[in-house]
Structure 1
Amino acid sequence: MIAANLARVHAQIAEAALRAERRPESVTLVAVSKTKPLEAIKVAYNLGIRDFGENRVQEVLEKQATFSPPDLRWHMIGHVQTNKANKVCGSFAYIHSVDSLHLALSLQRAAEKKSHAEETAVVQPVLLQVNISGEARKEGMTPEETPAIARQLRSLSHLKVQGLMTVAPLVDDQEQVRPVFQALRQLRDKLRQEVPEYSWDQLSMGMTDDYPIAIEEGATIVRVGRAIFGERVK
Structure 2
Amino acid sequence: MRKTVPGGKGPGPGGSGDRIRVGRLRGGGDDLVSSIADNINSLRERIARAAGRTGLDGNAVSIVAVTKTRPAEEMDEVVLSGVDALGENRVQEALSKWDPPAPRSSVPWHLVGHLQRNKARKAAEIFSCIQSVDSLELVSALERACLSRGRRMDVLLEVNIGEDPDKFGVSKGDLPLLAEGLLERSTTLDLKGLMTVLPLGLDERRTRSLFASMRELRDGLGSRLGIELPILSMGMSDDFEYAVMEGSTMVRIGSAIFGKRRS
TM over 0.5: yes
Higher RCO (CA < 8 A, seq sep 6+): 2
Secondary structure of 1:34's match?
coil
Aligned to 1:11: 45
Could you tell me how far apart the structure 1 residues matched to 2:245 and 2:117 are? 34
- Does the aligned pair in 2 maintain the 1:171–1:177 contact within 8 Å? no
Please tell me whether residue 78 in structure 1 is matched to residue 113 in structure 2. Answer: yes
Which one of the candidate residues 188, 197, 209 is aligned to 1:158?
188
The 2-side partners of 1:6 and 1:194 are apart by 37
The answer to whether the 8 A contact 1:97-1:128 is kept is yes
Write the deviation string for residues 122-168 of structure 1: whole angstroms up to 9, x where unpaired: 11100000000001010000010010111111121111100000001
Partner of 1:65: 99
**What is the SS of the residue equivalent to 1:200?**
coil
Whether the aligned pair in 1 keeps the contact of 2:134 and 2:169 (CA below 8 Å) is: yes
What corresponds to 2:55 in structure 1?
Answer: 21
Mapped to 2, the partners of 1:3 and 1:111 lie a distance apart of: 35
Structure 2 residue identity aligned to 1:78: G
* Farther off after superposition, 122-131 or 34-43: 34-43
The answer on 1:219 being equivalent to 2:251 is no
- Identify the residue that residue 133 of structure 1 maps to in structure 2: 162
Per the alignment, residue 177 of structure 1 pairs with: 207
**5+ long unaligned stretches in structure 1:** 116-121
The one-letter code of the counterpart of 1:61 is: L
Return the alpha-carbon distance in structure 1 between the equivalents of residues 178 and 154 of structure 2: 16
Give the aligned residue type for 2:225.
Answer: V
Q: Runs of 4+ in structure 1 displaced over 4 angstroms?
A: none
5+ residue gaps, structure 2: 1-34
- Identity of matched residues, %: 41
For the Cα contact (< 8 Å) 1:30–1:223, is it kept in 2?
yes
Give how far 1:65 is off: 2.8
In the other structure, the counterpart of 2:70 is 36
Question: Alpha carbons of 1:90 and 1:157: their partners in 2 closer, same or farther (altered >3 Å)?
Answer: farther
Q: Per the alignment, in what secondary structure is the counterpart of residue 154 of structure 1?
A: helix
Q: What's the offset of the Cα at 1:68? A: 5.3
Give the 3-state SS of the residue equivalent to 1:168 in structure 2.
coil
Q: Which amino acid aligns with 1:88?
A: A
